[in-house]
Structure 1
Amino acid sequence: MSSPKPAAGSANLNRIAPLRTLLPRYLALAYTALIVYASLHPFTGWRDSGMSPFAFLDGGWPRYWTVFDLAINILAYLPLGFLLALSLRRLPGRWAPAFSALLLGALISFCLESLQTWLPSRVPSNLDLASNTLGAGLGALLTIWHGERFFIRVALLQQRLLAPIQHAEFGLVLIGLWLLTQLSPETILFGAGDLRHLLEITPAVPYAAPSFFALETAIIVCNTIAIGLITRALLADQSSPYLALTAFFILALSIRTLAAAVLVDPLNALAWLTPGAALGLLAGGVLLSVMLLLPVSLRIALAGLALMAGTVLVNLTPPNPYSAAALATWRQGHFLNFNGLTRLAASFWPFLALPYLTVLGRRI
């Protein structure tokens, strides 16, 4: 009796299984950075209270707690445990990756709770440590049941959509981080690399409508070219670059619109669509379409130049008083930490992307 023929899907999964992808590792590092930021924000007011950083372990049951807080702590560490276990999948045995991820998740939570002892705006808690560890453990357990299938499908999707270049996974994480920066409604559209709020630098150019219009347009043109060429470098050759990039920028603008509608006011959902933004998107789109016809090495070089030019211009542009007036009614509330994260990501994104472009240019 002949054996049944395996399904096409199973054959594809078996074919792709040996493929290595570093995407889970990069995502685990990025998510760990997110956890650190959320746990220690706003990173100010550090002081020695005279207490041991480990005193919270013997603090008994916390006086103030809610089921919602417990659920948030568990859910926040569940993806971390899953990604850590997936990153450690090459460890021998079925349970070793999950157990190692549990220990790493618990260690991260323990270190962050201990550091919160020196932050007056934070209260370290043994209950937080326990719920975080539980979340990491649940995420790690998921890899035992579904981790292998998830890993294979991610590798299959990467092979189909991404170019076969080294460090493509890190580039994909960079693109996702750039999309995250579009959730900050107070920044110029596509603007990144503004360090003035971190270094307390006064804008060099005083506000004037004509100069602001020109600078805003130039920033959007430069960043449209830079992010478009970086994204194109990551796409597989069989993909339609024009269609894929159009969909990508529509996604970015949709994120920007949704963020403004939810965080500020639905009536200001399209506040980003200024005359300078409209002209910048049009000019940037036309120039990007032409540059896509150039050789790969030249596209990488132009992406770096556009990225550097956009970063310089965004640090010269004065704040728009009309946008400041519109955002004056913004009540950040629970979004304060999240908004700080998006602004921080927007500030440092070019300084992560530029070294990546340098490495990418040497590999191509």
Structure 2
Amino acid sequence: MYSKQQAKPFHLLPVIIYGGLLVYGTLYPLHDWRVPLETEWRPIFERGSNASYSDIFTNIVVYIPLGFLLARAVISFSPVAKVFTALLGGIVLSFLLESLQVYLPSRVASFLDLALNAMGALAGGLLFVAVRPQGRIYECLLSLRQAYIRPGALASASMFLLGLWGLSQTSPWVPSLDISGLRQELKPLWYTLTQRIPLDFNQMAVYILTIMALGTVGAAALKPGKSAFWWFAVFISAVLLFKIPVVGRPLSAEALAGAGVGIIGFVLLQKLPLKVAILSSIVAILGAVIIDELRVGTTWLISDFNWIPFKGHLTSTVIGIVDTLIGAWPFFALSVLVLHLRPQRPGRLLVWGGIGVFVGMFTLEWNQQYIAGRYPDITDAILALLAWWLPWFYTPLRREIRGHHYPYLKGNLRESG
């Protein structure tokens, strides 16, 4: 359960951070402000008629976390008051941003966006009430966790990482059951099988290395005696199959082949001593990042280095920034894997590891200036650093780190020494 002492300062910080990201994403680019004509205020109070299903879905989804965090921040409130706070906060922020968009010629204000944002914030508030402590859904999830997952914040972070990878594979999460759309999503797989396009071995290698490392993280979260192979294979299969109905996320032969080989590699890693398995997974994540960063793009254009954070990621909606944030998951994975090694001086690791992550990612991005079809960007280096630091911002995990109470991987991976 949450205490009032925990709630006051810290629970507002996620609201401020996520709200700031919404402000940045909604008002980007932050220039060319001008005083609008009186007639330009009308779209705010008019119902939008040209919104696509993708825009509707996006406007709802991006405000769900805000509603969830607002409801979470008001710990001492009743469930009804939590939901009302989430709804009111979403409406106020959305109305302010829609009003400010009138001053930006590159943005379009709409009452429909306001209504959809309010729906998202309301859904987020209801979601928190549903999964809050003492709620039925919470109790059900808690019983499953206690039965299969190790106690402790590090195990929770490990499971969160798997979910984060799943989200990165299925973004923008807009499903479509249209037959022609489903065929379009399967075309890359069919063209590779019929040898119309060659197999991309770099992309396949990224999948292999990634899934090997994710399997190790997942095995670390399970209790002794619980088999990691079958549930992990089912999880990977479910994520890849869900790519088929998702708009813009085709299922490729590289993903299927890489997943198969990666699961086999994970089985082999389970037979290694604990530290060797974790170190191998760290190397696998680093290798996947390097291969992905140095691969050639789909065009012959060469781009200069971009020094403005998130420039080029934000277009007509804020889904670009959400996708970019989730894409930094490998560095969150690195942080979680390193913590499983139970470092004796976590504070120094936080600082020097962060410096290494930022410098390494900056170097890879800088080198993309000489690779065709790539967009070298300071944003990726910044997000890599933030993702590396993310576990340290989780209060229960920070306490585990300081107290050196790290769970062992006994039963799933061999103990060393």
With the length of structure 1 as denominator, give the TM-score of the two structures: 0.60
User: What is the aligned partner in structure 2 of residue 233 from structure 1?
Assistant: 220
For residues 170 and 119 of structure 1, the distance between their equivalents in structure 2, rounded to whole angstroms, comes to 40
User: What is the aligned partner in structure 2 of residue 356 from structure 1?
Assistant: 336
User: What is the aligned partner in structure 2 of residue 62 from structure 1?
Assistant: 45
For residues 290 and 297 of structure 2, the distance between their equivalents in structure 1, rounded to whole angstroms, comes to 15
Residue 247 of structure 1 pairs with residue 230 of structure 2: no
Higher relative contact order (CA 8 A, sep 6+): 1
Please give the root-mean-square deviation of Cα atoms over the aligned residues, in Å: 4.9
Please show how residues 211-360 of structure 1 align to structure 2 within 5 Å.
214-259=201-246, 262-263=247-248, 272-274=252-254, 278=257, 280-319=258-297, 340=320, 344-345=324-325, 347-360=327-340
The alpha-carbon distance between structure 1 residues 47 and 101, as it changes in their structure 2 partners (threshold 3 A), is same
Q: CA deviation at 1:239?
A: 2.7
The alpha-carbon distance between structure 1 residues 104 and 235, as it changes in their structure 2 partners (threshold 3 A), is farther
For residues 138 and 347 of structure 1, the distance between their equivalents in structure 2, rounded to whole angstroms, comes to 24
User: What is the aligned partner in structure 2 of residue 204 from structure 1?
Assistant: none
User: What is the aligned partner in structure 1 of residue 383 from structure 2?
Assistant: none
For residues 248 and 347 of structure 1, the distance between their equivalents in structure 2, rounded to whole angstroms, comes to 19
Q: CA deviation at 1:175?
A: 1.9
Which structure 2 segments of 5+ residues have no match? 173-197, 300-314, 343-405, 408-417
Letter in 1 for 2:269: M
For residues 156 and 314 of structure 1, the distance between their equivalents in structure 2, rounded to whole angstroms, comes to 39
User: What is the aligned partner in structure 1 of residue 195 from structure 2?
Assistant: none
Which structure 1 segments of 5+ residues have no match? 1-17, 186-210, 322-334
For residues 141 and 103 of structure 2, the distance between their equivalents in structure 1, rounded to whole angstroms, comes to 40
User: What is the aligned partner in structure 1 of residue 150 from structure 2?
Assistant: 163
Q: CA deviation at 1:345?
A: 4.6
For residues 202 and 238 of structure 2, the distance between their equivalents in structure 1, rounded to whole angstroms, comes to 24
Q: CA deviation at 1:109?
A: 2.5
Question: SS state of the match for residue 47, structure 1?
Answer: coil
CA contact 1:46–1:120 (8 Å) conserved in 2: no
Q: CA deviation at 1:150?
A: 2.5
For residues 232 and 58 of structure 2, the distance between their equivalents in structure 1, rounded to whole angstroms, comes to 37
The alpha-carbon distance between structure 1 residues 162 and 86, as it changes in their structure 2 partners (threshold 3 A), is farther
Q: What do residues 41-75 of structure 1 show as CA deviations (whole Å, max 9, x unaligned)?
A: 694474212359xx99x869623435989986995
> How many pairs align?
293
Question: SS state of the match for residue 163, structure 1?
Answer: coil
Q: What do residues 77-119 of structure 1 show as CA deviations (whole Å, max 9, x unaligned)?
A: 7844763365247425454433443443345424543553454
User: What is the aligned partner in structure 1 of residue 352 from structure 2?
Assistant: none
CA contact 1:221–1:283 (8 Å) conserved in 2: yes
Letter in 2 for 1:351: F
Percent identity between matched residues is 24
Q: CA deviation at 1:247?
A: 0.8
For residues 83 and 328 of structure 2, the distance between their equivalents in structure 1, rounded to whole angstroms, comes to 33
Letter in 2 for 1:221: I
Letter in 1 for 2:287: A
For residues 251 and 227 of structure 1, the distance between their equivalents in structure 2, rounded to whole angstroms, comes to 15
Q: CA deviation at 1:293?
A: 2.7
